[in-house]
Chains A and B, each alone.
Chain A
Amino acid sequence: MDFKLTKEQELAQELFRSFAETEIKPLAHDMDESEVYDMELLQKMQRYGFFGIPYAKEYGGAGGDVLTYTLCMEEVSKQDGSTGITISVHTSLCCSCINEFGTEEQKQKFLRPLVDGSKIGCFGLTEPNAGSDVQGAQTVAVEEDDCYVINGSKVFTTNSGFADTCVVFAITDRSVPVSKGLSAFIVDLKEMPGITVSDNIKRMGIRAAQNCIVTYDEVRVPKDRLLGQKNKGFKIAMMALNGGRIGIAAQSVGLAQGAINEAKVYVKQRTQFGRPIGAFQNTQFKLAEYQTKVDAARLLTWRAAIAKDNHEDYSDLAAMAKLFASETANEVTRGCVQLLGGYGYCREYPVERMMRDAKITEIYEGTSEVMKMVISGKMDLK
């Protein structure tokens, strides 16, 4: 075993780092304040292939791997958590469903524009009454002639504010538990009549991400938009979320490392009691602990990514990575605000935003409690 990146991964890390420092960092504060994502930045990232990293060249992707995708997630999230989730929902949730379960025709028609940088995707599973527990889902799709007619509403659909394509889940058989009667569909958010996207939901963090309520009212979806088999959608959703957790773990690592990097600069400049605060042992030990935890989180993330790249079972590895990395992101960003004192609490300094952004990593794509269910489920305890 070695912990070395390949030559391609090293180049990619250089690209993501310099792009994020030059293009994302200067915009992060204003995007957070305005709660609007900069579309020019989004288009630039599409052009440089940030939205199709782990997908095959034959479908327009970069031909990279999951590990390289985590490098991207870490570097962009070091500067801006909103950018991290925008790329992540598109890549790990939306595209993966089509890549893994789409027919050849569906891949050419829907995956290609998503991964070649022409379109943005989102993923609609969560509903007002179905969060951690999908059993509460109420959105239905009824077969009618050559269509499925979808009715219902999805909350927290990230990217829906500007996305073109959505993989949405709806019940196609009400006589069985949701996990046996759910199906996945590919819908055109901007074009299909009956779809309404709300304003961006007001949130604590990742405020520039576009996270809205999407309502489906008699939306007629042609039958060729059914993804995978009818009533087999639950498996698709779980596959996507398992993979997505690797991306969220990397986003968490980025937020934490970003906060450490900011704190390292500040503690050398700020003087109290006649010395830079970086000279106090408490400052040094805190940062040493934080860096150790971030490195551990990164290694867990890479382990899960490599397992997925090798087509091994990775669901518990991804859950461990997300559980540990998201908790680390919260501890570290909070601790870095403390190291910056009153200035850390001010919106002028990025650690305040990083601390707000970090909280969501313990919630979405499965809460920390759900991660513990996944991990313990694999431990043969019952």
Chain B
Amino acid sequence: MKIVVCVKQVPDTSGKVAVKPDGTLDRASMLTIINPDDVNAVEAALALKDEYGCKTVVVTMGPPPAEKMLRTIMAMGIDEGILISGREFGGSDTYATSQIIAAGLVHLGIDDDDIIICGRQAIDGDTAQVGPQIAEKLGIPQISYAGDIKKDGNTITVKRMLEDGYMMIQMKTPCLITCVKELNQPRYMSTYGIFEAYQKPLTVYDYNTLKDEPLIDPETIGLQGSPTNILVSFTPPLKGAGTILEGADMNTCKTLAKILDDKHIIR
């Protein structure tokens, strides 16, 4: 049994968002963080490791500097890292990305009792698509938005969080779970974890490693294999401050009605 966590390095949106003249994100000039939901996925994997003593692996697709993020996650306690990195993979949208990561997971080997955990969505694209698409491409069951995970043998019970309630769903391993931040409180790195992190195995999967996997085909990866094309990204102009009217009397209602009328929202 092993737990595989998929994580993404994203721009730190609490800093400045830099956009290149051509409208795409200037990722190189922005600070990066581990995608917040993915940290919950890491914690979920570590909690299962604490309970079952199973092996844990972290996988990311990204440029070589993403190694530091993998080491950080290994310093939290994950045992191994896999960095999927290659020029051929650049420019991938969610479809191509999940194709490549799924190929990476096949290359790693997914056993009958394995669990794959992803964050719900990445804060840079906000699509929430990659996790579910990986499961589809691997042909395994999935449950998204996990707010609680229970394991009983090969049966996984997940509390699936929805806006106005939740569902309790069961599935068999191997399976994929995407989790929400309410799932847990992620731990910090530990000092002993830090001094082990750089000794733990980290493997790079490049195009050559994966090219013979059936999922990898020049038509389905990279910019060329991506059905989605980004036309432009930009920082939206700030909305002006809102107006707050106080009071529940007739005059306030009239003032409100007049504002709405002036804007032709009501007549």
Contact = CB atoms under 8 A, between A and B. Distances in A.
Contacts of A63: 192, 195-196
A64 B195 contact: yes
B114 to A, nearest CB: 28
Interface string B194-205: 111110000000
B191 A49 contact: yes
B41 to A, nearest CB: 19
Interface stretch (A8-16, A24-32, A200-208, A213-221): A8-16
A64 B194 CA distance: 9
B189 A15 contact: yes
| Most chain A beta carbons < 10 A, residue from B75, B194, B195 | B194
Contacts of B72: 11, 14
B159 interface: no
Contact of B188 (A8, A18, A61, A62): A18
Contacts of A11: 71-72, 75, 189, 194, 197
Interface in B46-88: 68, 71-72, 75
Contact of A64 (B68, B188, B191): B191
Contacts of B71: 7, 11
Interface of chain A: mostly helix, strand, loop or mixed:
helix
Contact of B192 (A7, A18, A62): A62
B190 interface: yes
Nearest to A47: B190
Contacts of A12: 191, 194
A15 B194 contact: yes
Interface in A215-271: none
Contacts of A50: 191
Nearest to A48: B190
Contacts of A64: 191, 194-195
Interface in B188-227: 188-198
B194 A8 contact: yes
Interface in A1-55: 7-8, 11-12, 14-15, 18-19, 47-50, 52-53
A14 B71 CA distance: 13
A62 B198 contact: no
Nearest to A57: B192
A49 B190 contact: yes
B191 A7 contact: no
A126 interface: no
Band of interface residues on B = 10 to 19
A68 interface: yes
Contact of A68 (B190, B191, B196): B191
Interface of chain B: mostly helix, strand, loop or mixed:
helix
B216 to A, nearest CB: 31
Contact of A7 (B188, B193, B196, B198): B198
B130 to A, nearest CB: 26
Contacts of B198: 7-8
Nearest to A23: B188
Given A7-B71, A7-B198, A8-B197, A15 B192 contact: no
A47 B190 CA distance: 8
A62 B196 CA distance: 9
| Most chain B beta carbons < 10 A, residue from A7, A8, A14, A50 | A8
A68 B191 CA distance: 9
Contacts of A47: 190
A51 to B, nearest CB: 9
B188 A19 contact: yes
B24 to A, nearest CB: 28
A121 B122 CA distance: 44
A189 to B, nearest CB: 25
B50 to A, nearest CB: 12
A7 B198 CA distance: 8
Contacts of A48: 188-191
Contacts of A18: 188
A128 to B, nearest CB: 37
A41 to B, nearest CB: 13
B76 to A, nearest CB: 10
Nearest to A63: B195
B200 to A, nearest CB: 12
A14 B194 CA distance: 11
Interface string B162-196: 00000000000000000000000000111111111
A96 to B, nearest CB: 17
Contact of B195 (A14, A19, A62): A62
Nearest to B67: A7
Contacts of B192: 49, 52, 57, 61-63
A222 B183 CA distance: 51
Contacts of B191: 12, 15, 48-50, 52-53, 62, 64, 68, 72
Closest 10 A/B residue pairs (Cβ): A49-B191, A62-B191, A63-B195, A62-B192, A15-B189, A49-B190, A48-B190, A49-B192, A11-B194, A12-B194
6 contacts: A11-B72, A14-B72, A15-B190, A19-B188, A48-B188, A62-B194
Interface of B: 68, 71-72, 75, 188-198
Given A15-B190, A49-B192, A50-B191, 15 more contacts: A7-B68, A8-B194, A8-B197, A11-B72, A11-B189, A11-B197, A15-B188, A48-B188, A49-B191, A49-B193, A52-B192, A62-B192, A62-B194, A62-B195, A64-B191
Interface of A: 7-8, 11-12, 14-15, 18-19, 47-50, 52-53, 57, 61-64, 68, 72
